[in-house]
Chain A
Amino acid sequence: MVEARPVAEAPAPRKRRHLLLALGVVMLVTMLLVTAFGPWIAPYDAIATSPNSLAGPSAEHWLGTDSIGRDVLSRLIIGGRTTLLITFVAVSLAVAAGLVLGLVSGYVGGLADELIMRALDIVFAFPVFLLAIAVVAALGPTVPNLILTIAIVYTPIMARVVRAPVLSVKRWDHVEAARSVGVGELRIAIVHVLPMVVSPILVQTSLTLANTIFTVTALSFLGIGPPPPDPNWGGMLSEARQFMELAPLTVIGPAAAIVFATLTFIVLANGLRDLLDVGSH
């Protein structure tokens, strides 16, 4: 699992900070463009089979074909759509839920805080991946179920990341000042507290995206991902293992895609952290 980098180190020189972030943004934009325009870029139909199976790389099939003659490159491009769609929607839900729960928990405090945090502790007690397996296995492996499951397992960490800084920010002078001129509590929480805690949320979101790529592809790898024949990276990697010595590219392709996506979010997280100075106070 990807975790926040420990504290206790000098901030990176300003120039390198932006370099890392720029690299992350370029990688992200590349990935998004390829997936967004996937159907137009992909040279072949991703689920159309052909007799030309387990072919090596050639001018027609840059990454060769899989065991039932489907073009690996096309499947990678189309498979990225499913994998990334699940990832982005699930993490958006987790962030939204984490924002609400963390803000209520940290800002309101008292019994609400106690109840929310204890409930989240229960979810937290399960190893993320095991809980995801259990829920998806029980509900059935469909795209909406995968999204829901992943949103559930990553909500506690988001809520904690929101709650911690809210606890101190709510005691700051500008909050007191707002209250003294009669601003409502809800408005204070959203307008005066929330913007102060955006940086750690951004960084954690990026790390969670990286972790989600792992969870989504690993679930698919175990056979409880989006149902076939539509491709997805984890499923492709798993299917390809049977004949991988004959066609190594069928394994290396999805492996590289998974690593690239994860790396994108890790680079982005580190770039954001350096830029926003999160965790170095």
Chain B
Amino acid sequence: MTRIVLVRLAWMLPILFGVSVVAFALMRALPGDFAQAAAGTTDLSPEALDTIRRGLGLDKPIWAQYLLWLGGLASGDFGSSFVTHKPVLGELLPRLAVTAELTLMAGAMAMVLGVFTGLASARLRGRTDWFVRGFNGLLLAVPNFVVATLIVLLAGLYFPELGIFNYTPFFTDPLGNLGSMLLPAFALALAVSVTISENTRAAVLEVSSQDFVMVARAKGLRPGAILRNYLVRNALTPVITVTGLQLASLLGGSILIETIFTIPGMGQYLFDSITSRDYPVIQAIVLVAAVIVLLVNVLVDVAYARVDARVSYG
């Protein structure tokens, strides 16, 4: 077990290195001068620009700049915002917590919805199957920001008293906070539930055709018991994997959803930073998100190996 974890983490290192190079290169690929972007104005004397440049270490060779930046990252220094001039990390962490809450809620909703519809589709067959597949197919074509916009529109037209833009911080009102996250999480969950639903359906169908299910049926076990003890348990492994792998699209989607519902998470922070050209923040968010996705992928792999004895990593 430890070995699997170590091997997977070791595989991560070269990718992490690549990710950091890409994130670094993005900042240096900015149109115009980085120092000018940092100053937020083009109206500067050459001397003032030189001072800024030296302050940011831009007079050093590019590899030294990269190493400096990497060293900073290692000690938690993600640079300072061009706008507020405060360290990015301190502003990012509270927002990351909000996004994590939204993503987890959406993930849980998607899982419940997906497993339920997938199971119904595979077990009841016939019209239910047809309906679920059709619904899934249609849902797949509706991007989450369209769902969210339509929810806001409907709420505004028919339930104006609902106040869906009232984000409440968790620590002032935990229940109110969960309530204000429900609709955004739902908008985010719908598309992901389709993938889970389709995979649950396929997994249950596949497990149903296995010999041990036939044996169980031949032994005279009741269908309910077979469903609980054999089908769900065996079909759930791939479903958990799929849910884990959907994290990337949940994180991506949360940018849009937070912007639409004005939730002060990482996504809205990114949106604001794009608008104000706050490049260090953009860089930090992209980096953090990539690392989270990488870590979760490792976690999913490990969990998968733990549950399924057939998987091994040499």
Contacts and interface: CB of A to CB of B under 8 A. Distances in A.
B190 to A, nearest CB: 13
Contact of A1 (B157, B249, B260): B249
B205 interface: yes
Nearest to B275: A223
A118 interface: yes
B113 interface: no
B6 interface: no
Interface residues of A, number: 49
Interface string A237-264: 1000100110010011001001100110
A139 B290 contact: no
Contacts of B248: 127-128
Interface of B: 14-15, 18-19, 22-23, 26-27, 29-31, 137-138, 140-143, 145-146, 149-150, 152-153, 156-157, 191, 195, 198-199, 201-203, 205-206, 248-249, 251-253, 255-256, 259-260, 270-271, 274-275, 277, 279, 282-283, 285-286, 289-290, 293-294
A130 interface: yes
Chain A interface, DSSP helix/strand/loop, else mixed: helix
21 contacts: A8-B202, A8-B205, A118-B14, A121-B18, A122-B18, A127-B252, A130-B255, A130-B285, A133-B255, A138-B29, A138-B282, A217-B145, A221-B145, A222-B255, A223-B271, A237-B149, A245-B153, A258-B146, A259-B146, A263-B141, A266-B137
Nearest to B260: A241
A217 B156 contact: no
Contacts of A214: 143
B157 A218 contact: no
Chain B interface, DSSP helix/strand/loop, else mixed: helix
Contacts of A224: 274
B43 to A, nearest CB: 20
Nearest to A214: B143
A11 B277 CA distance: 51
A173 interface: no
A5 interface: yes
Nearest to A255: B146
A36 interface: no
B145 A122 contact: no
B286 A130 contact: yes
Contact of B256 (A118, A221, A248): A221
Contact of B30 (A3, A9, A138, A210): A138
Given A8-B206, A121-B18, A259-B142, 18 more contacts: A1-B249, A2-B140, A5-B202, A6-B199, A126-B293, A130-B285, A134-B26, A135-B26, A137-B277, A138-B30, A217-B143, A218-B256, A222-B256, A245-B157, A252-B153, A262-B140, A263-B138, A263-B141
